Chains A and B, each alone.
Chain A
Amino acid sequence: MAFLRNLSRKKIFWPLAALVLLMCFNLFFTPNFFRVEIKEGHLYGNVIDILKNSAPIMFLAIGLTLVIATKGVDISVGSVVAISAGVVAMLIGGDLKGVPKNPILLSMAAAVLVATLAGMWNGLLVSRVGMQPVIATLILLVAGRGIAMVTTNAMVVWLYAKPFALLGQGYLLGLPFSLYMVAFLLLATMLVTRRTALGLFIEAVGINPTAARFAGINARNIVFWVYAFSGFCAGISGLVVCSTVMSADGNNAGDGYEMNAILAVVLGGTSMSGGKFYLMGSMVGALIVQTLTTTIYAFNVPPEIAFLVKAVVVWVVSLLQSPDLRSGMAGFLGRRSEGGKEAAA
């Protein structure tokens, strides 16, 4: 027991173990799961696909990790992905010859800016108005999809501007380009949170908001910017999502992503009740989620069954993190020993 407890304290251990377990399962049951080929100088294979497909969730998970660390949550990220995809698609335009209406980089910047503003809106509601995070972000979850659909005139907008495809489909040195973006954002976030005091402040606010205030931390600002950052991350995710399929579908882009991203963060070891956060863990979590999906695909069952598996995983993980379950079990044991004492007396 003590051995297990010690192991479970190392936060990155559990997500990694789960990932390895899942991989082992695939090694035995999914043929060619680990085969990687080189076609046209790029790496191809299930593993590469998993990495590539998990990129959009990874962006979201980076932002959400910080939000969840402050004891909050942002369930609007899926809708913000759709908004960002819609904005960038409309700005670049669906010209069949592939001539962008506006400069591609500028369009991308505008889309991310809009997404960041959406995040700021959430931050405002949570930190200033004082709404519960679930409810505050619920508003944007409802309205966000409407905004995305209105942006794209309720149509699927197809893009033909080649350079834009780089984000979601391009390769660099044999690896998907989106992975470099993830790595860059991850590194930048780690630098900003761990090489300044921001990470410490975020954790302090999540662990003990009162003590944080008494120690002079401006908790409101921290919370506000964390939501803004989550919007920013969703914006980048939206760009990649849009580029992967070279289209923006306001209705389906980013649908259900919030669930996957929350799952990734929680699997990665950051607790829903706030406090210590683990960005690397969240990345591993995102890989677990994607591997799970890919594994289910490989089994030739309808991909939608993945919903079922994920639901069960969410329940199990939240149960494992539930302090009540732990104390309940301790209490159960305690009660038994107390009963024993009484019987003895």
Chain B
Amino acid sequence: MSRKGLINLRSLPSLVTLGLFLLMFGAGSLSFPGFFSLQNFLNLFIDNAYLLVLAVGMTLVIVAGGIDLSVGSMLALSTMLSSFLLERAGWKPGQVIPTVLAVGLALGAFMGYMIHAFSLPPFIVTLAGLYLARGLCYVVSIDAIGIKNEFWQGMANARIPAEAANSVSPSVIIALAVVAAGGFILRSTKFGRTIYAIGGNEQSAVLMGLPVARTKVGIYAISGFCSALSGIVFSFYTLAGYALNGRGMEMDAIATVVIGGTLLTGGVGGVVGTVFGVLVYGTIQVLIMFQGTLNSWWTRIAIGFLVFLFCLLQRVFEAGRGKSGKDGSAGPASC
């Protein structure tokens, strides 16, 4: 982040998130023996690699001022398709992965087209997408399908040494690659900057001659692609395809993006914040696990509360921005 302007207001929310993460991780380290370790930190990535992939796609959508509720179902569909094609249809991983990714891309692009071409509210279109993908899962198979494919098994068990005795899974590498790609798109491509422009003021973006239509369809296509990839990563983790996978995960993805400092109204945010958001999310889970007596569902309440807090923060932020704009616009001298 070389731009000076980014350090001040715009990166403030993601700095808050980083601070929150450090605080929580520190608190955990002080409270629970065995909490503070590099492996425990790396585990946050290993356990949430799929969520990170999902959240990067969601970041693009939200920066553009949209929302994609279909990602959890799309993830499930992707696990179902993968396991079905591998185990029942006997395809090779080299065929399965491109196919699954293409399906995600196509479904996402279709939703993007509906949203753009007919000015439908994104949440309605993608809510229907949520149901469509979930329904398609059951068309593939009603039951869960275990994956015995060697490549998948290999990916599940492989560990890449990170430092000394600590290691990460291949999925983490995939996730970090997606983060890097997302960051590159948002920061260094015309497509990415158009996403910010649309999120800032869609009408202006049109009047400024930017390719709004193409970009909007592209964003949802990328989100669909990320969901599909996330599903593959998820199936590396669970080695099964199941139609109930990823239920409610759209909310986790949205929550991590928001906690990462991306404005839900669009135009401000980025993938770095989202990484912090996922880390915060993972840390909450680990903390509740270490604590032992609390029900794991407290995670959701904590997440809901954090989303609320960040939304509130954003409102205050916006109100501040509105005010400064007003001060800037002076009419005739008065009083």
Contacts and interface: CB of A to CB of B under 8 A. Distances in A.
Direct contact of A and B (CB under 8 A): yes
A27 interface: no
A143 B258 CA distance: 15
A310 to B, nearest CB: 5
Interface in B134-153: 134-139, 142
Interface in A316-333: 318-319, 322-325, 328
B304 A140 contact: yes
A130 interface: yes
Interface string B125-167: 1011111101111110010000000000000000000000000
A324 B303 CA distance: 37
Contacts, number: 136
- Considering residues B248, B255, B299, which has the most beta carbons from chain A within 10 angstroms of its beta carbon? B248
Interface residues of A, number: 48
B300 A142 contact: yes
A259 B127 contact: yes
Interface stretch (A31-39, A102-110, A144-152, A172-180): A144-152
B303 A305 contact: no
B300 A149 contact: yes
Contacts of B243: 304
B67 A314 contact: no
Given A142-B251, A142-B255, A154-B296, A312 B119 contact: no
- Considering residues A130, A140, A150, A315, which has the most beta carbons from chain B within 10 angstroms of its beta carbon? A315
Contacts of A304: 134-135, 137-138, 142, 243
B308 A305 contact: no
A305 B134 CA distance: 8
B312 interface: yes
Interface string B285-323: 000000000011111111111011001100100000000
Q: Is the interface of A mostly helix, strand, loop or mixed?
A: helix
Contacts of B127: 75, 259, 262, 314
Q: Is the interface of B mostly helix, strand, loop or mixed?
A: helix
B120 interface: yes
A123 to B, nearest CB: 14
- Considering residues A134, A142, A149, which has the most beta carbons from chain B within 10 angstroms of its beta carbon? A142
A154 B299 CA distance: 12
Given A139-B308, A154-B295, A305 B135 contact: yes
Nearest to A322: B118
A272 B132 CA distance: 21
B254 to A, nearest CB: 7
Interface string A115-146: 00000000001000111101110111111111
A21 interface: no
A20 interface: no
Interface residues of B, number: 46
B171 to A, nearest CB: 25
A331 B180 CA distance: 43
A181 B136 CA distance: 36
B118 A325 contact: yes
Nearest to B132: A311
A308 interface: yes
Contacts of A305: 135, 138-139
Interface string B195-210: 0000000000000000
Contact of B132 (A138, A302, A308): A308
B185 interface: no
B58 to A, nearest CB: 13
Given A302-B142, A305-B139, A311 B124 contact: no
A156 to B, nearest CB: 13
Given A145-B248, A305-B139, A325-B118, A314 B131 contact: yes
Contacts of A132: 264-265
Nearest to B121: A272
Interface in B93-136: 114, 117-121, 123-125, 127-132, 134-136
B12 to A, nearest CB: 20
A159 to B, nearest CB: 21
B297 A146 contact: yes
A142 B135 contact: no
Nearest to B123: A134
Given A129-B315, A138-B254, A308 B297 contact: no
Contacts of B255: 142
A145 B300 contact: yes
Contacts of B128: 310-312, 314-315, 318
A129 B123 CA distance: 21
A311 B131 contact: yes
Given A138-B307, A154-B296, A318-B124, A328 B315 contact: no
A250 interface: yes
B287 to A, nearest CB: 15
Given A132-B264, A132-B265, A259-B131, A147 B301 contact: yes
10 contacts: A125-B311, A138-B307, A141-B251, A150-B297, A304-B134, A304-B138, A305-B138, A307-B131, A311-B128, A312-B128
The 4 tightest CB contacts between A and B, nearest first, are A143-B304, A146-B300, A308-B135, A307-B135
Given A149-B295, A150-B301, A308-B135, 10 more contacts: A138-B254, A139-B308, A143-B305, A154-B297, A304-B137, A311-B129, A318-B120, A318-B121, A319-B118, A324-B118
